[in-house]
Amino acid sequence: MEPPAAAAPQVETDDQIALLSKPRKKGGNSDLASAAFNIVNSIIGSGLIGLPYSMKEAGFPLGVLLLFVVAYITGYSIILLIKGGNLSSTTTYQELVRKTYGRAGYIILSTLQFLYPFIAMISYNIITGDTLTKVFQRIPGDDSCNGHLKCIGNCTSSVGLDNVLTDRHFIILLTTIIFTLPLSLYQDIAKLGKISLISLILTIVILIIVMVRTVTFSPQVPKSENAWTFARSNAIQAIGVMSFAFICNHNSFLIYGSLEEPTLKNWSQVTHVSVSLAVVISVVFAACGYMTFTGYTEGDIFENYCRDDNLATFGRFCYGVTVILTFPLECFVTREVIANVFFHGNLSTVFHIVVTVVIVAVATGVSLVYDCLGIVLELNGVLSATPLVFIIPSACYLRLSKERWNHSDNLISGLILALGVLVMAVGFVMTVLHPQECSHGKEMFYCFPSNVSVHNSTLPP
């Protein structure tokens, strides 16, 4: 029998042999394109809508630079995860952390890995309800909120008398029963590949709409003072928002395992293509959104557009559909965490259905009660997304790596780890002291041209 090393003489170290070989787990049914669509869809979820706000928080020039940095760290960290999985012969994020840091690390990771996508599911439902109700308010004959004066306050809480489709509770329940629950019941994540492609196409449409409105609508919006300041004091909070937008680490193993040939080479290809596409979309979206509204940019960019803007209304519809199609990806992760913690990784068909229904029902119930999760989403970014993106993948790889301390992977991992700890600590303090305000349902002052000059003379920019 030939020695194992003879089969691959071109590989220089044992680590590289482990990384380039196929994992023991059999591959799935996804080709590289489907896996890439799933990653892009996972990244471009509810967080995309808050990226213009992160430009306002960080300062526009610094915000763009930080967005590229967060994207690079995201791509690097999900490759580190798979490297760590291959080095430790593990096939899930939880198994990797358990083998690396024991039961304590496993419990911490499981908690974070459950909370992040679960809270994201709640935010998806809230965004769906708020976004689609504004769409249906534009239906001819529905006067429940078409009058501008009726929309200065929180209008969405009082609609539904004339048209049930303008009731956010009804919309959330309807979309859950018809779309998100059936899609979440899939057992194979590869089946979501085509759905993710549809979501990506709709995202491109939204991007085009935002770009068009930058040209056609921004002249109507007064520019705030110091709109182009290089850096602002809330840059750390902005990193939290960006981390929330870009995180896909929690479902990386799921998507990696779905590849027909799950090798590090294929995974690196998928990662580079999908993260690059996601960062291009994100930078253009964030830049156009911020350039349109500057200092008036809201956490949900569609809150900035006027209700009688039909093009923006179509954008809201596309975004609502995109969020609905992204919801199942997060449900897959929450279900896998529960399966690993309580069912040793195996769910029978009956328990698969029961667990899925319970997860979706609880997320829907919370989203029906709460209609504004501004501070919760920021905290989710710094306390859940930051450890999952920055800290844990780097810490696991550093623990498992057999390379010298000055190897590039070790140095970069150490830098990312330190940055993650800083963002998590400082971001938490700043989020508590200066939480994101919620302008839920408020019609912006510049939607009333006669009031623009009055607003500028009485309110600071």
SS3 176: helix
pLDDT attached to residue 286:
93
CB 83 within 8 A of CB 100: no
- How distant is the alpha carbon of residue 244 from its chain centre? 5
Among 91, 78, 40, residue whose Cα is nearest residue 258: 91
Query: Considering the entire predicted model, what is its pTM?
Result: 0.76
Contacts of 179 (CB under 8 A, 6+ apart): 324, 325
pLDDT tens digit sequence for 278-316? 899 899 999 999 999 888 888 778 888 888 888 989 998
**Cα separation, 45 vs 271, whole angstroms:** 17
Among 104, 101, 77, 75, residue whose Cα is nearest residue 90: 101
pLDDT attached to residue 156:
42
pLDDT attached to residue 165:
72
As given in the structure block, the two tokens for residue 367 are 């989203």
Could you state, in chain order, the average pLDDT of each consecutive group of 10 residues for the chain (461 residues)? 41 42 54 80 74 90 93 88 86 85 89 86 84 79 45 42 71 89 80 74 88 90 84 83 80 80 84 89 92 85 84 89 85 86 81 91 87 66 83 88 80 90 84 65 73 49 45
**Cα separation, 280 vs 287, whole angstroms:** 11
pLDDT tens digit sequence for 181-201? 988 888 776 667 677 778 778
For residue 402, count CB atoms less than 10 angstroms from its CB and return exposed for 0-12, middle for 13-18, buried for 19 or more. exposed
SS3 230: coil
pLDDT attached to residue 450:
62
pLDDT attached to residue 288:
93
As given in the structure block, the two tokens for residue 147 are 């009058």
pLDDT attached to residue 214:
92
pLDDT attached to residue 16:
45
- Residue ranges of domains in the chain, CATH in brackets: 25-458 (1.10.4160)
pLDDT attached to residue 32:
80
- Please work out, in degrees rounded to the nearest 5, the angle formed at the alpha carbon of residue 193 by the alpha carbons of 188 and 198: 140
pLDDT attached to residue 375:
65
- Please work out, in degrees rounded to the nearest 5, the angle formed at the alpha carbon of residue 273 by the alpha carbons of 282 and 44: 35
**Cα separation, 152 vs 137, whole angstroms:** 15
